[in-house]
Amino acid sequence: MSLYSFSVKKPITLLMIVCVVIITGIVSLTKIPLDLLPKIEVPVAVVSTSYKGVGSESGGKEKEVNISLEEGELEKYGLTIDKLVQLIGAENLNLPAGQIKKGNKKLSLKTVGEFQSIEDIKSMPIPLATGGVIHLRDIADVSIEDKETTTVSRINGKEGINISIQKQSDSNTVRVSEEIHKELEAIEKDYPDLDMEIVLDQAEYINMSIMNVFKNAIIGAVLAVAILYLFLRDLKTTLIISVSIPTSIIATFILLYFGNITFNIMTLGGMALGIGMLVDNSIVVLENIYRLRENGLDSQSASIEGAKEVSMAVSASTLTTIAVFAPMVFVEGITATIFKELAFTVAFSLVISLLVSLTLIPMLASRSLKKEVEEKNNGFSKVFRSVRDGYESILSWALNHKGWAIFIAVAIFVVTIFPLFILGGEFFPPVDEGTFIVNIDLPSGSSFQETNNVIENLEKDISKIKEVDTISIEKRRRL
C-alpha cells in the first residue's frame, strides 16, 4: 500500500501582466558556517528596498527568544509563570508621549520600550512582593534561537532558504527583474560565501514569448511579400506595396509609445494580426493606378486620380475592420486587460496603413511604375488563370440563380453554428512555461523525517530525467 499520494499539474498563469512572482532564490547552506546564517536576512532587505517596483519579499529563517526557567527559582521568589509573562509583555511596549509643534507641523512622540537586544531582555527588572528587585537572568536562561522548522527548502539536493520577491501591481515585470538581477550580483560580491541561484524568473518567460511573437511577425511579413511577388510577378511593384509594412509598423510603434502602451505579447500579437491587412489598401490603390496607366494617363495623373477614385472604398473597408475591434476598447475587467491593447494596436496599424496607401503609395507609383508589365506564360500563371476562370463561372451561376445562392449561404451559416455547442470552453488556454508542480500529501500524523525521506526518494527519481534542469522542493508541515 502506498504511504502517500501525489499529483502533477502545470502551473496556471492567468496573464503575464498580473503575474507577481518574479524570482524565487535559494541560498545554499552547504558552504557557510552557522554563524553566518543571520546574514541571509541582509540580502532580502537590500533587494526589497533597492527598487521601487518590488512590492514584498518573504523567506529566511525566523528567530524567537527562548526563556528557560530554572527549576525552583520561581517558587523561591514567590513568582508564577502568568505573572512573569505579564511583566515581560508590559516591559516590551512602545508608548505614545504626546505631540510637539514645529512650525506648521505636529510631530508625534513615543517612548521606546521594546527590547532592542538580548541583553535588554536579560536585564529586565522583576519587582518582588518583599520589596526587592531581581533581573530575568537571575531566574532564567535567555537565548535567541531559530523557530521550530515547519518548512524546509531544497534545490538540486541541497538544503537552502527560499526567498520569494513580488512586484507591485503597477510596475513592469521585466524592469523589476533586471534590477533584482543587478542587486543579486552585488550581494554575491558582498557575501561570497552565499550561493544564490534563481529558480523562477517570470521575466525570462515574458522575454521568450515576446521574442517568439516578434519572430513570427517577421516571418509573416516575409511571407506576405513573397505571396505578393508570386501574384504580381514584378519586383518593382512588389517593393512599392511592401514598403507599407515597415512604414505602418514604425508609425504604429510611435502611437503606442505616446499612448503609454507597453511592448508586450498582446501588442505584438495585434501587430502580427495586422501585418497581413497592412498591404490590402495599398494593393487596391496600386491596382487602380496601374489600370489608369494602361488607359493612357501619365504617371502623375494616374497616381492622383487612381488614389482619389478608390479613397472612399478603402476608407470604408478599413473603418469596418476597425469597428470589429472597437467594442474591445470599451469593455472592463479582465477582458479589457487581455484585449484592449490588442484592439488599439490593430486599429493604429490599420489607420496608418490607410494613410500610407493614399499618400506614400501614389507618390512611389508616380515615379517608378511602368506602363505595362509583361505577362509571363509560366506554370503559376496558367494555374491562376484556371482559378480565375472557375471563379467567373461560379459568380455567373450565382447571379443567374439568386435563390439557390442565398439558400446555400444560409445553410453554410447554420452549419457553422453547431460547433459552438460541441466545442468545450475555458477562460484561458494552457500555457507551457517549462515548469511542473508536484504536490505530495502524506497521511495525517506523518513525521517530518518521514516526509523528508519521501521527498528525497522522489527527488532522486525526478533527477534521473535528463530534460529536468532544476528541482526546487519545499517541505511544509501543517500545524
What's the pLDDT score for residue 57?
42
Contact status, residue 264 vs residue 341, Cβ threshold 8 Å: yes
Low-confidence ranges of the chain (pLDDT < 70): 1-63, 71, 146-152, 159-171, 193-194, 232, 369-381, 424-433, 475-479
* pTM, to two decimals: 0.55
**How far is residue 204's CA from residue 206's CA, in Å, rounded to a whole number?**
5
What's the pLDDT score for residue 34?
37
**How far is residue 185's CA from residue 176's CA, in Å, rounded to a whole number?**
14
Which residues contact residue 250 at a Cβ distance below 8 angstroms, ignoring those fewer than 6 apart?
A: none
Tell me the three cell numbers of residue 429: 488556454
Domain covering 16-203 assigned CATH 3.30.390.30 in the classification: no
Q: Which amino acid is at 384?
A: F
Kind and range of the H or E element at 422? helix 419-422
What's the pLDDT score for residue 237?
79
What's the pLDDT score for residue 30?
38
What's the pLDDT score for residue 379?
61
Residue boundaries of the structural domains of the chain? 16-203, 205-422
Domain covering 205-422 assigned CATH 1.20.1640.10 in the classification: yes
- Residue located via cell numbers 473603418: 319
Residue pLDDT, tens place only, 113-138: 777 778 888 888 888 878 788 888 88
Q: At what angle do helices 244-258 and 235-242 cross, to 10 degrees?
A: 10
What's the pLDDT score for residue 208?
80
Residue pLDDT, tens place only, 163-192: 666 666 666 777 777 777 777 777 777 777
Burial (CB < 10 A; 0-12, 13-18, 19+), residue 309, is: middle
Q: What sign for the dihedral angle of Cα 129, 135, 141, 144?
A: positive
Which whole-number Å values give the CA distances from 279 to 218, 328, 374, in the listed order? 15, 24, 23
In sequence order, what DSSP letters do the residues of 71-109 get, joined into one string?
TTHHHHTT--HHHHHHHHHHHS--EEEEEEEETTEEEEE
Q: At what angle do helices 202-232 and 235-242 cross, to 10 degrees?
A: 140
